[in-house]
Amino acid sequence: MTRNRLRLAIVGAGPAGIYAADILLKAERNFDVSIDLFDQLPAPYGLVRYGVAPDHPRIKGIITALREVLDRGDIRIFGNVRFGTDITLADLKKHYNAVIFATGAVRDASLNLPGVGLEGSYGAADFVSWYDGHPDYPRDWPLDAREVAVIGNGNVALDVSRMLAKHADDLLPTEIPQNVYDALEQSPVTDVHVFGRRGPTSVKFTPLELRELGELRDVDMILYDEDFDYDEAAKAAVSGNKQVFVIDKVLQQWRQRSVGEASRRLHLHFFAKPLEIVDDGHGHVGAIRWERTAPDGEGGVVGTGEIRELPAQAVYRAVGYFGSPLPGVPFDKEFGTIPNHEGQVLTRDKESGDARQMYGVYATGWIKRGPVGLIGHTKSDAMETIKHVINDLGNWWRPESPSEESVIEMLETRGIEWTDLDGWHRLDEHEQALGSAEGRKRIKVVPRDEMVTISRGEA
Ligand SMILES: Cc1cc2nc3c(=O)[nH]c(=O)nc-3n(C[C@H](O)[C@H](O)[C@H](O)COP(=O)(O)OP(=O)(O)OC[C@H]3O[C@@H](n4cnc5c(N)ncnc54)[C@H](O)[C@@H]3O)c2cc1C
């Protein structure tokens, strides 16, 4: 008796997509598997390559583990192929039994603040994409502000503040592209102000990442005594929660430091709710206006009516990421995710309005559960989704052209210049060679056409 065979497409070669493929290949199952992994970018690894900060080599090192999965050779990669333009849901139905969407979240969540559209007001996601050398973002970034405000109290706000405050030479050992080094080197920044509307015991920073801020060369950490008059709820959080305890300890240590010697300062403003990004009179950011808040006794805050203002020539909004809709796939506009039950995609029944399973379609990673959590969380996510892919065997699509060759024919007919695993190896070696010529480990190639040409061996 011939065994069933699952031809599976995974869209998104970030950690979620790669873990899903790996888990399925290793899972106990009574059918064979053939997986094709598509990504719109010429190189795999998603936000590990294009989100994780370049001065986090340990986290960037997760790429080595993901690469080992791909190097086994039992997953085909098609990079530089965008779902929605190069391939559609109808194409996938024609060639596969099922698809898993692992497309993550790459955009900034919106922030409704007067002045948000001024010149000099930036989304953190755009800045991250720039310094991490994302091919679809402009090469130039206007780093002309002396005083910068960063809105947000999560790890992305820490990354952005650190990258803005750090001296460019201290980033040279990392893989930052040359244009990023050149721009950071010219930056006149002296003060980076980070704003959070709650108190120090309610931040979303993780302790390790927070501690790093205090280790920057020639950067003073500035904290304000008025933020450390803890109420009972804050005191209870410090004594009852290990993470809050460590965060408080780090902040208290910084408060004891003598400051004044460094050429740059990183200020943490708590109980500060941004109200407006103020126009300098020429359509450019000139200041940030905020309201001082106070604890409400239950772990939240209320406005005090006291309004303050600080000069700033640039404002960065680090208030979260947001997923993007995919053509033909249900989308939850409120949460920026694909509606699903444990990874099984749900659609609304046109007549009854009830949610029902969209057979053959699955989701995993940030597009499944929203842009929160670390890379490791995408593994448990993938396990849950794969369990359903396996159990749903009777409900898979029945493709008209399930052969592996038929997909290549489709891409070739459309003139799509896809990149594959060998191509990634070529690009990887090229980037390392660029780095070693400068005494560095790697220098990233940024332009998409250059990435594609190198990957396809056409350079
Ligand atoms: C700034 C920042 C810093 C971070 N730092 C850390 C850290 O230090 N440590 C940590 O553990 N986690 C960190 N994270 C979190 C981590 O990056 C995520 O948990 C993880 O990347 C989510 O994985 P994912 O595969 O769901 O999405 P992604 O990594 O975003 O991968 C999605 C992939 O889908 C592709 N894709 C999207 N749309 C399409 C389409 N239409 N067609 C084809 N392909 C498509 C994208 O190109 C991308 O490659 C950070 C996140 C950010 C934003």
Q: Residue 219 sits in a domain of what CATH number?
A: 3.50.50.60
Domain closes at, from 400, 418, 436: 418
Residues 314 and 218 in one domain: yes
Burial 294-327 (b: 16+ CB within 10 A, else e): ebeeeeebeeeeeeeebbbbbbbbbbbbbbeebe
Whether 442 contacts 408, CB under 8 Å:
no
- Cα 39 to averaged position of ligand 1 atoms, centre (Å): 12
Nearest ligand 1 atom to the CA of 39 is: 44
Look at residue 453 and tell me if it is in a domain.
Answer: no
Average pLDDT over every residue of 75-92: 98
Average pLDDT over every residue of 128-157: 96
Look at residue 459 and tell me if it is in a domain.
Answer: no
The structural domain count of the chain equals 2
Whether 183 contacts 166, CB under 8 Å:
no
**What are the structure tokens assigned to 99, written together?**
């698809």
Q: Which residues contact 7 (CB under 8 A, 6 or more apart)?
A: 34, 36, 95, 96, 97, 399, 402, 404
pLDDT in tens, 429-458: 999 999 999 888 899 999 999 999 999 999
Q: Which residues contact 112 (CB under 8 A, 6 or more apart)?
A: none
Residues 34 and 154 in one domain: no
In the block, residue with structure tokens 């001296």? 167
Residues 37 and 146 in one domain: no
Residue nearest to atom 49 of ligand 1 (CA): 46
User: Measuring CA to CA, which residue among 261, 318, 271, 297 is closest to residue 121?
Assistant: 318
Look at residue 78 and tell me if it is in a domain.
Answer: yes
Look at residue 454 and tell me if it is in a domain.
Answer: no
61 lines ligand 1 (CB under 6 A): no
Look at residue 452 and tell me if it is in a domain.
Answer: no
Residues 153 and 101 in one domain: no
- Cα 47 to averaged position of ligand 1 atoms, centre (Å): 3
Other CB atoms within a 10 A radius of the CB of residue 441 amount to 13
Residues 312 and 331 in one domain: no
Full residue range of the structural domain in which residue 73 is found: 4-106+323-418
The pLDDT, as a whole number, for residue 1 is 60
> How many Å apart are CA 220 and CA 116, to the nearest integer?
28
Nearest ligand 1 atom to the CA of 16 is: 25
Nearest ligand 1 atom to the CA of 49 is: 29
Look at residue 296 and tell me if it is in a domain.
Answer: yes
Please state the φ and ψ torsions of residue 26, each to the nearest 5 degrees: -90, -10
Binding residue ranges: 16, 47, 153-156, 197-198, 209, 366, 373-375
128 lines ligand 1 (CB under 6 A): yes
Residues 369 and 271 in one domain: no
Nearest ligand 1 atom to the CA of 103 is: 34
User: Measuring CA to CA, which residue among 255, 272, 258, 260 is closest to residue 312?
Assistant: 272
pLDDT in tens, 250-273: 999 999 999 999 999 999 999 999
- Mean pLDDT value across the chain: 95
Average pLDDT over every residue of 321-350: 96
- Cα 73 to averaged position of ligand 1 atoms, centre (Å): 23
What is the CATH classification number for the domain harbouring 12? 3.40.50.720
Average pLDDT over every residue of 331-348: 96
Q: What is the band of 74 on the pLDDT scale with cuts at 50, 70, 90?
A: very high
Average pLDDT over every residue of 147-152: 98
362 lines ligand 1 (CB under 6 A): no
Residue nearest to atom 4 of ligand 1 (CA): 52
10 lines ligand 1 (CB under 6 A): no
Nearest ligand 1 atom to the CA of 209 is: 8
> How many Å apart are CA 201 and CA 311, to the nearest integer?
27
Strand (E) or helix (H) holding 14: none
Q: What is the band of 353 on the pLDDT scale with cuts at 50, 70, 90?
A: confident
Look at residue 53 and tell me if it is in a domain.
Answer: yes
Strand (E) or helix (H) holding 34: strand 31-38
Q: Using alpha carbons, list the distances in angstroms from residue 59 to 47, 65, 231, 353, 375.
A: 11, 11, 36, 43, 9
Binding residue ranges for NADP(+): 153-156, 197-198, 209, 373
DSSP state letter for 269: E
Burial 75-98 (b: 16+ CB within 10 A, else e): bbbbbbbebbebbebebbbbbbbb
pLDDT in tens, 288-319: 999 999 998 777 899 999 999 999 999 999 99
- Which pairs from 70-73 meet CB under 8 Å and 24+ separation? 70/18, 70/44, 70/421, 70/424, 71/421, 73/421
User: Measuring CA to CA, which residue among 49, 46, 41 is closest to residue 83?
Assistant: 41
Residues 240 and 136 in one domain: yes
- Cα 375 to averaged position of ligand 1 atoms, centre (Å): 8
Nearest ligand 1 atom to the CA of 321 is: 53
Residues 245 and 130 in one domain: yes
12 lines ligand 1 (CB under 6 A): yes
pLDDT in tens, 389-404: 999 999 999 999 999 9
Other CB atoms within a 10 A radius of the CB of residue 59 amount to 15
Where does 117-249 show beta strands of DSSP type E? 121-123, 147-151, 191-195, 219-222
pTM of the model: 0.95
- Cα 80 to averaged position of ligand 1 atoms, centre (Å): 16
The pLDDT, as a whole number, for residue 39 is 98
Percent of the chain with pLDDT over 90: 93
Q: Is the pLDDT of residue 95 over 90?
A: yes
15 lines ligand 1 (CB under 6 A): yes
Whether 304 contacts 273, CB under 8 Å:
no
Please state the φ and ψ torsions of residue 230, each to the nearest 5 degrees: -70, 140
- Cα 367 to averaged position of ligand 1 atoms, centre (Å): 9
Average pLDDT over every residue of 188-196: 98
Residue nearest to atom 22 of ligand 1 (CA): 366
> How many Å apart are CA 447 and CA 451, to the nearest integer?
6
Residues 343 and 250 in one domain: no
Domain closes at, from 288, 321, 354: 321
- Cα 48 to averaged position of ligand 1 atoms, centre (Å): 6
Look at residue 342 and tell me if it is in a domain.
Answer: yes
Whether 420 contacts 76, CB under 8 Å:
yes
Average pLDDT over every residue of 349-372: 93
